[in-house]
Structure 1
């Protein structure tokens, strides 16, 4: 059994074009993301799943320059059928029915390796035949982690047909709890859900840049709790992007990443 982590990323975002290549402290957002994923102890393979468009050729070349070990693999697939892109990335990695799949998005530069490990461990122990996710009712958005087995991904790919199911990889799964048991991994005691760490709009980028300017490179090494506590200690920074509304995952208007 392997744990295969797949990060969706592309440059064709309308809300913040080419966001994953935006530079903060001399590094791209995707660089921060992939560097943090590389330190997850439970992940065996990391793939960045992008599109086969001309625009994303720049992204592919950028990934090749990242000084990260182990280096992430790259898969190029459908721009609009994200489910197919995601599934084919797993196939390229020779995923088998015994493998666990982790879904991430590249607009989360502070994705937490410790939380990836925790959600995967909880999934394997308590919900191996279902869909497991990090609870954003407790954790900040931007730490998003979803976990499921390759059999569920295959079943989803074979049966999903509606636009939301093809645009949002896991929509088919979590909208069918009768078929795929759902488990939410919480932190149990502290509510950080008011904080926002993903990068969708210019003010999100301003927040991250300001936080990095305030804390320096140490921020890139912090745990999820340390990052959240740092934001709470600097409410003026947390307020920069508090007005940004997260689009509901079931909406047809949600960004494809």
Structure 2
């Protein structure tokens, strides 16, 4: 039996309703997207960028070229289709889904959870740390098979399903999905290290410029936020956009 071809697909585009161009904003001379990709590379897995065909996203493609990261261009609003086309193009058997507005994702944590996923040898398995949320928002990842992605591509019909990629899978519309969860104790879901607003960017500036958080594990990052409540407070009032895993 051959080893599955596993890859991390991150969605990236310049358009953002709250903070346009956010993934190419820089801190210490490095873009959010580069921090994101370099953190993911510590997983030991290949990383692929899924962007759009819009001219504005030429900048994403150029940065991917500079970083030597394979890039695929697909649908603008049908992100499910974009993921499916990217996974198909690169011949993946297992997909790790992340989003590029999370520059502090822990690649080693993802790598360990992918090993757990592979050991289960179950193409109907969906593993994530988002359905049972105990990690800070911004450390989110999902792991699922190409087969589940293909099923969603074929059967998911609503605009929300297509925009958010995995609802058809994690809501178990087919009735065939099995679940595993990456859970942390104690719960650290109160923290937020994603980038969606100006306050989020201010927090990331402090974490990256003053504390070099790009070198920290998830546990070390959480310990830092616990030790410095004044830092965590910078974006504590931000409400997540309406859609969530649940």
Match for residue 36 of structure 1 among 35, 39, 43:
39
Give the equivalent residue in structure 2 for 1:240.
234
Deviation at 1:224, TM superposition (A): 0.5
Alignment of 1:133 with 2:128, yes or no, is yes
Deviation at 1:179, TM superposition (A): 2.1
| Cα distance in 2 between the residues matched to 1:199 and 1:190 | 24
Q: Residues 177-208 of structure 1: CA distance to partner in whole angstroms, max 9, x if unpaired?
A: 63211221112x21111110110111000000
Match for residue 30 of structure 2 among 20, 27, 36:
27
Give the equivalent residue in structure 2 for 1:142.
138
Aligned ranges for residues 91-130 of structure 1 at < 5 Å? 91-95=88-92, 99-126=93-120, 128=122, 129-130=124-125
| Cα distance in 2 between the residues matched to 1:17 and 1:127 | 40
| Cα distance in 2 between the residues matched to 1:84 and 1:48 | 14
Contact 1:171–1:250 (Cα < 8 Å) also in 2: no
TM-score by length of structure 1 reads 0.89
Give the equivalent residue in structure 2 for 1:158.
154
Give the equivalent residue in structure 2 for 1:90.
87
Deviation at 1:210, TM superposition (A): 1.4
| Cα distance in 2 between the residues matched to 1:78 and 1:244 | 29
| Cα distance in 2 between the residues matched to 1:88 and 1:194 | 35
* Structure 1 consecutive aligned stretches of length 4 or more whose deviation exceeds 3 Å: none
Alignment of 1:78 with 2:72, yes or no, is no
Root-mean-square deviation (Å): 1.6
- Name structure 1 gaps, 5 residues minimum: 252-257
| Cα distance in 1 between the residues matched to 2:77 and 2:141 | 21
TM-score by length of structure 2 reads 0.92
- Name structure 2 gaps, 5 residues minimum: none
Q: Aligned with 1:88: secondary structure?
A: helix
| Cα distance in 1 between the residues matched to 2:208 and 2:9 | 26
Q: Aligned with 2:148: secondary structure?
A: helix
Aligned ranges for residues 60-71 of structure 1 at < 5 Å? 60-66=61-67, 71=68
Q: Aligned with 2:105: secondary structure?
A: coil
| Cα distance in 2 between the residues matched to 1:250 and 1:201 | 17
Give the equivalent residue in structure 2 for 1:59.
60
Give the equivalent residue in structure 2 for 1:211.
207
Of 124-133 and 75-84, deviating more is: 124-133
| Cα distance in 1 between the residues matched to 2:121 and 2:183 | 14
